Structure 1
Amino acid sequence: MADQDIKPSPTSNAYLGLQTGLYVLALVWTGFRLWIRRGRHWWEDLFALMAAFACIVGLVSFWFIYWPNAPEFDYAFMWLDIMTNWVVVWSTRVSVLLSILRVATKPRMRIIIHASLSLFAIFGAVSFAFKMWVCWDNPSWRETAYLHCRNSHAYAFVQLSTDVVSALILVTLPIAMLWDIKLARQTRILVISIFAMSVLSAVASIVHVVFIVPATSETGITMHIQNAIDLIVCNLLVTVTFIYRVLLRKNGAHIDDGTSHQGNDSNGDIEDSPETVKFTTVNLDSHESSYAFDSSDSSYQGRSNVAWDRGLGQSARWLE
């Protein structure tokens, strides 16, 4: 492939800057999330961190692909692009789903979430296998100017289907979970809106799918945009609710720690009062959480009880 075939277009410098800025925003947002969750990290944070590392690799490969004098490296970095996109997409989706699992209290809802996690694992495996098969089966794409697999319409359909189904799961599950929970109107709108941001990930995925067939320069552009948006959306639930609670505290809202509404059972677990819902607790003074879980049941690890804030019309102390 001639060097001139892979030189970026005149608008690429602006795009390089904007895309790099979007990646940096996503990575900083992830760092903020991990700082908030320090000392209380759970599986959802591990998957978010995994996606962040993949974004760093994607950012490096993104810059090297646009390097005008090294076409032999572009092939290797294109494969890195494929791998990092897959890791980011499915790690962020699993992270959001685990966030829902961490606050779910009803056994039926937890079963549904575990089934959804299994479905995501199947979707991810199918997507990865299909992508590898498409790229290896037709190697002629290595001689094109855009260095992207010649994706088939069948692959585009598989990608679109998994994206839409995943988005529906990530939006409907939290809405169903919150349906019977008494939250203040502002709190309910906030939490549902954050989960609804998963739609943004679906939109980014669909836009990317539109440019998959045929492969053009926009194929890679939309892929990197999708990476950054997915990572940002993945961190919204933790970061925005933390900021929300800080603002409430600055406004003088009283937040009950709930200790007067809880008692211990014979297993050492904290019993819930009728006015208590299990969410992740943030103590803004000590930055510590009061954990309550059965050590014999790892599925409850990292969860804690949250008392209603009576001063805010029984709004919940929410996730940090």
Structure 2
Amino acid sequence: MAVDHAALFIASSVFNGLAMILTLFRLFFRLRIERLWWEDMWAAVMLVCGMTFSIAQLISFETVDYDTALVTAWMSSLAFTSTVWVARMSLLYSTIRVISPSSVLRKLTRVMTVVFFLFWATVIVLKTCWCVHNTKAMLTLGSEYLVCNLPKVVIVFQPIANCVSDAVLVYLSLKLLWRAKLPRRRHRMILTLFSSSILISMSSLSHAICQLMVSFEKGMYITFEIEFTSALIVCNLLVVVTYMYRVILSSPSGSLPSESEEDDDFTTPIRTNTATELTTIDLDVSPCTTAEAANSNLSSGVSSSFNSA
């Protein structure tokens, strides 16, 4: 059965637009409360990659020129890979933010950011090298657009890298959830991270299975769009869910029940202690006045000593 690329493009565009709106909301919200961090920077990179992918797809459906179609095929392929891996990087940094700074687990998680980046770079290099040195790999699918047919080595490496990275995200979430004394809001944050990791893992696994099944072309393109869209949406679940929880259940004063500084879900501005004692010094006092005041204090002190004697 042929794939209705036009219908698939329209459906994916709607969900991609929703995902980008969520990303913009997340960045604006964190910027407004002055809580931007590395996880949000990765989300901003993901937004750029997602917009590049959507624009490339739009052009590919409108153009009939081979060279233009070839450029958009490169743009969509690299933007897709970058979007999925940047979403994982954002989730990983969200996990780092929750872990205690003095914990050994936090140091190990920082090491995993390097591993994730190497996975991402390796996939990009493998795709680029193969498609550049094997021009016959660029085949026309119907009259829609061009796609690079990757070899089995690359197709197998991608799901392995995806499974390893997703397993790390799931393990870190479970490791934190096992802490029985975790504050309520922190527990909710980590549960959201766990759910996000599971969702992105399921979408990448389904896409990998369809890639390995050459005869299942329709499912491959459907799961391709699902993996991309889920990466965009899942990356922002943590901020959106915690924000909605605060809006729905917060008191009129804007605070949640049993709210404490230790139980921070990063949806409130940073609390600073501004109560300081100020000492006022009058600089317009003449030397004579100062001397008279000192003599007066000395006389009163002598009188009180005499009276007590």
Q: TM-score range by the shorter chain?
A: 0.7 to 0.9
Q: Is the 8 A contact 2:131 2:138 kept in 1?
A: no
Match of 1:282 in 2: 267
- Tell me the amino acid that sits aligned with residue 37 of structure 2: W
- Tell me the amino acid that sits aligned with residue 247 of structure 2: V
Equivalence map 1:194-213=2 (5 Å): 194-213=193-212
Question: For residues 49 and 8 of structure 2, what CA distance do their matches in structure 1 show?
Answer: 20
Question: For residues 176 and 11 of structure 1, what CA distance do their matches in structure 2 show?
Answer: 43
- Tell me the amino acid that sits aligned with residue 18 of structure 1: A
- Tell me the amino acid that sits aligned with residue 36 of structure 1: F
Question: For residues 244 and 165 of structure 1, what CA distance do their matches in structure 2 show?
Answer: 31
Structure 1 residues 221 and 68: CA distance shift in structure 2, 3 A:
farther
Equivalence map 1:285-300=2 (5 Å): 288-290=269-271
Q: Is the 8 A contact 2:162 2:201 kept in 1?
A: yes
Structure whose residues are more often helix by fraction: 2
Q: CA deviation at 1:242?
A: 1.3
Question: For residues 102 and 109 of structure 1, what CA distance do their matches in structure 2 show?
Answer: 12
What per-residue deviation string (whole Å, max 9, x for no partner) do you get for residues 3-27 of structure 1?
xxxxxx6833322221100110110
Question: For residues 144 and 254 of structure 1, what CA distance do their matches in structure 2 show?
Answer: 56
Q: Which deviates more, 247-256 or 47-56?
A: 247-256
Q: Is the 8 A contact 1:281 1:290 kept in 2?
A: no
- 2:117 pairs with 1:121: yes
Question: For residues 223 and 69 of structure 1, what CA distance do their matches in structure 2 show?
Answer: 23
Give aligned-pair identity as a percent: 25
Where 2:147 maps in the other structure, the secondary structure is: coil
The aligned length equals: 263
- Tell me the amino acid that sits aligned with residue 44 of structure 2: L
Match of 1:43 in 2: 38
Match of 2:300 in 1: none
Question: For residues 255 and 189 of structure 1, what CA distance do their matches in structure 2 show?
Answer: 14
Which of 89, 94, 102 is 2:89 aligned to? 94
Q: Is the 8 A contact 1:26 1:232 kept in 2?
A: yes
Q: CA deviation at 1:194?
A: 4.0
Match of 2:246 in 1: 245
Q: CA deviation at 1:280?
A: 4.2
- Tell me the amino acid that sits aligned with residue 98 of structure 1: Y
TM normalised by structure 2 equals 0.76
Q: Is the 8 A contact 2:166 2:200 kept in 1?
A: yes
Q: CA deviation at 1:256?
A: 4.9
Q: CA deviation at 1:107?
A: 1.8
Q: CA deviation at 1:254?
A: 4.6
Q: CA deviation at 1:134?
A: 2.1
Which of 5, 14, 19 is 1:12 aligned to? 5
Unpaired runs of 5+ residues, structure 1, are 1-8, 260-275, 293-320
Q: CA deviation at 1:104?
A: 0.7
What per-residue deviation string (whole Å, max 9, x for no partner) do you get for residues 138-160 of structure 1?
21133432522221221111101
Q: CA deviation at 1:224?
A: 3.4
TM normalised by structure 1 equals 0.73
Equivalence map 1:1-320=2 (5 Å): 11-38=4-31, 39-67=34-62, 69-105=64-100, 106-145=102-141, 147-183=146-182, 188=187, 191-213=190-212, 214=214, 216=217, 219-250=220-251, 254-256=256-258, 258=260, 276=262, 279-283=264-268, 288-290=269-271
Unpaired runs of 5+ residues, structure 2, are 274-309
- Tell me the amino acid that sits aligned with residue 113 of structure 2: L
Where 1:147 maps in the other structure, the secondary structure is: strand
Q: CA deviation at 1:165?
A: 0.9
Aligned-residue CA RMSD (Å): 2.8
Question: For residues 72 and 43 of structure 1, what CA distance do their matches in structure 2 show?
Answer: 37
What per-residue deviation string (whole Å, max 9, x for no partner) do you get for residues 235-268 of structure 1?
1111101111222215997545547xxxxxxxxx
Question: For residues 241 and 36 of structure 2, what CA distance do their matches in structure 1 show?
Answer: 17
